[in-house]
Structure 1
Amino acid sequence: MELPLPSLAAREPGGIPILTDDALARTTGVRVAFTGRAGGVSGGDCATLNLGGHVGDDPAAVDENRRRLMAALGAADVPLVVPSQVHGTELVAVDASDPAALARAREQAAAGADGILVEAPGVAALLCFADCAPVVLVAPDGRLAVVHAGWRGCVGGIASKAARALVAGSGGDDASQLNAYIGPHIGSCCFEVGPDVAARFRDAFGDGCVSADGARVSLRRALGADLAAAGLDPARVCAAGACTRCRPDEYFSYRASGGACGRHGALAYRGA
């Protein structure tokens, strides 16, 4: 099956604003959803749809926010795998949806991971963000990956690692038919870095992802270069184009808030 070219459109199922690709869902049963900060029950710095369980929010509020999101997507019964993100490049594979496989994947994810490969239908991967870049990859057979690309993960090649793992899982080596979705993240307008970090991006991806004065980095361009190196067709890489630092009313931003904020999410699953 050939996937439709990726696109992201704003929707508001159940009162929860998301960016999603309806054509992908119709064609493959894979639902991709990038959330914002609206539509939940959390208060204070985490208001309102905080999906992160590690930011001091009431655990009951986090559970309710996740429940509301899944219900809004018509996936109330789909189990979640949510990793403990450590700004690395570790990937965890979910190869089945039975209780034992889910327990195994959740245990591995809790030990520290920044990417989930979902090889089985009926399981959702949810990762959480507040300026770092969310990336969702989808293969023509419906397998998918959700990864967390902060600057360390981006430089470490987590996106290309996930793309190669998806391709290898189908027994091939051609990533050109994968779709990639890059969700809202801090843009090059606001992602100021020191010279050491800028040098690491130049070494990994060339000068194109670093501003002329060396003070700012484009995660979008770096991820595009990383995915191209794995064989993705640039026409199949779609970016939301929203800077979280510029729009803290719509998205959680670690930099805009001084570190006190909730987390929005990147979620994907394939219907059983």
Structure 2
Amino acid sequence: MQELERLVNDTGVALVGSLEGPVAFGFTERTGGVSKPPYASLNLGSHVGDAPEAVQENRRRVLAALGCEEALGRLIVPNQVHGDHVVTVSSLDAAALGEARAEATAGADAVVCTVPGVPVLLCFADCVPVVVVCPGGFAVVHSGWRGTYAKIAGTAARALGEATGCAPSDMRAYIGPHILGDEYEVSAELIEQFSQRFTDINPSGPRMLDLARAITQALVRAGLAEGSVLDTRLSTVRHNDRFYSYRAENGSCGRHAAVAVMR
């Protein structure tokens, strides 16, 4: 399986990802942008109180780092609602693209794309970003605890297979920076709920929830081989200098992103 690289372009935008193959994708870091504190500097979230013009410039820089700056006008950024709805983008037709954007704006936590030149960007600050790629397209997924419990990553992988005709054996999944299992303490009720849906979770032990482990199980149940799921194991809490963390920054921070585009 392809390992990810840390890439930095000439604007200072850093991302962990891959620019090779039919899909270019990455998990952005927080440097290389124009936002002022507390959003410094590559904030990509438009809902946190940052200046809209700064967010737009930051998004342009990220697409430039992926080599698709000219596609800024086609960028899909869903309104994330911690659900399990998946939007599929399957046409470059203006009307169809407009419908997909409207559906994403209405509320979605995963986007499947099977057409070139349409970048997709989802925002994070401790929740788990997942990118699933295959020869015919990709999916970008936002998986907080609610989405993880709903197995949204597995749902997105199945939707990607339906949209592209790719078998799960042709897919690779990448889990980006997030709050790790030894950092994420949850309630007794929540750990009990997860123990009933996922394996290797002990509800009577420490109440530390490893979302990435549950996400991997959801992807494997969708048909991916466990060896085809790569977890970067990058902590947003421990590496708060590189990534935004809602917990570490007491709720006042920007958002990094998972972003992908077909060539």
State the TM bucket, normalised to the shorter chain. Answer: over 0.9
Q: Partner of 1:32 in structure 2? A: 25
1:44 aligned to which of 27, 37, 40: 37
1:115 and 2:110 correspond = yes
Q: Partner of 2:15 in structure 1? A: 18
Equivalent-residue separation in structure 2 for 1:131 and 1:211 (angstroms): 22
1:84 aligned to which of 58, 75, 79: 79
- Compute the TM-score of the two structures, normalised by the length of structure 2: 0.95
- Give the C-alpha shift of residue 68 in structure 1: 1.1
Task: Give the conservation status (yes or no) of the 8 Å contact 1:6–1:181.
Answer: no
Q: Deviations over 1:115-168 (max 9, x none)?
A: 001011110110000000000011222x11001000000010100001111112
1:203 and 2:196 correspond = yes
Q: Which runs of 5+ in 2 are unaligned?
A: none
Equivalent-residue separation in structure 1 for 2:26 and 2:202 (angstroms): 29
1:134 aligned to which of 129, 154, 164: 129
Q: Which runs of 5+ in 1 are unaligned?
A: none
Q: Partner of 1:219 in structure 2? A: 211
Task: Give the conservation status (yes or no) of the 8 Å contact 1:179–1:237.
Answer: yes
Equivalent-residue separation in structure 2 for 1:186 and 1:264 (angstroms): 13
Equivalent-residue separation in structure 1 for 2:14 and 2:203 (angstroms): 32
- Secondary structure of the corresponding residue to residue 269 of structure 1: strand
- Secondary structure of the corresponding residue to residue 176 of structure 1: helix
1:144 and 2:138 correspond = yes
Task: Give the conservation status (yes or no) of the 8 Å contact 2:88–2:112.
Answer: yes
Q: Partner of 1:245 in structure 2? A: 237
Task: Give the conservation status (yes or no) of the 8 Å contact 1:36–1:251.
Answer: yes
Equivalent-residue separation in structure 2 for 1:222 and 1:52 (angstroms): 26
Task: Give the conservation status (yes or no) of the 8 Å contact 1:180–1:237.
Answer: yes
- Give the C-alpha shift of residue 97 in structure 1: 1.9
The percentage of aligned residue pairs carrying the same residue is 44
1:154 and 2:148 correspond = yes
- Compute the TM-score of the two structures, normalised by the length of structure 1: 0.92
- Give the C-alpha shift of residue 8 in structure 1: 1.1
The residue identity in structure 2 corresponding to 1:16 is: V
2:5 aligned to which of 9, 26, 50: 9
Equivalent-residue separation in structure 1 for 2:260 and 2:204 (angstroms): 36
- Secondary structure of the corresponding residue to residue 123 of structure 1: coil
- Give the C-alpha shift of residue 211 in structure 1: 8.0
1:258 aligned to which of 222, 242, 250: 250
Task: Give the conservation status (yes or no) of the 8 Å contact 2:77–2:121.
Answer: yes
Task: Give the conservation status (yes or no) of the 8 Å contact 1:201–1:210.
Answer: no
Q: 1:33 to 1:17 in 2, by over 3 A?
A: same
Higher mean C-alpha deviation, range 91-100 or range 247-256: 91-100
Equivalent-residue separation in structure 2 for 1:190 and 1:209 (angstroms): 15
Equivalent-residue separation in structure 2 for 1:211 and 1:244 (angstroms): 25
Q: Partner of 1:181 in structure 2? A: 174
- Secondary structure of the corresponding residue to residue 61 of structure 2: helix
Equivalent-residue separation in structure 2 for 1:237 and 1:210 (angstroms): 23
Question: Aligned residues, how many?
Answer: 260
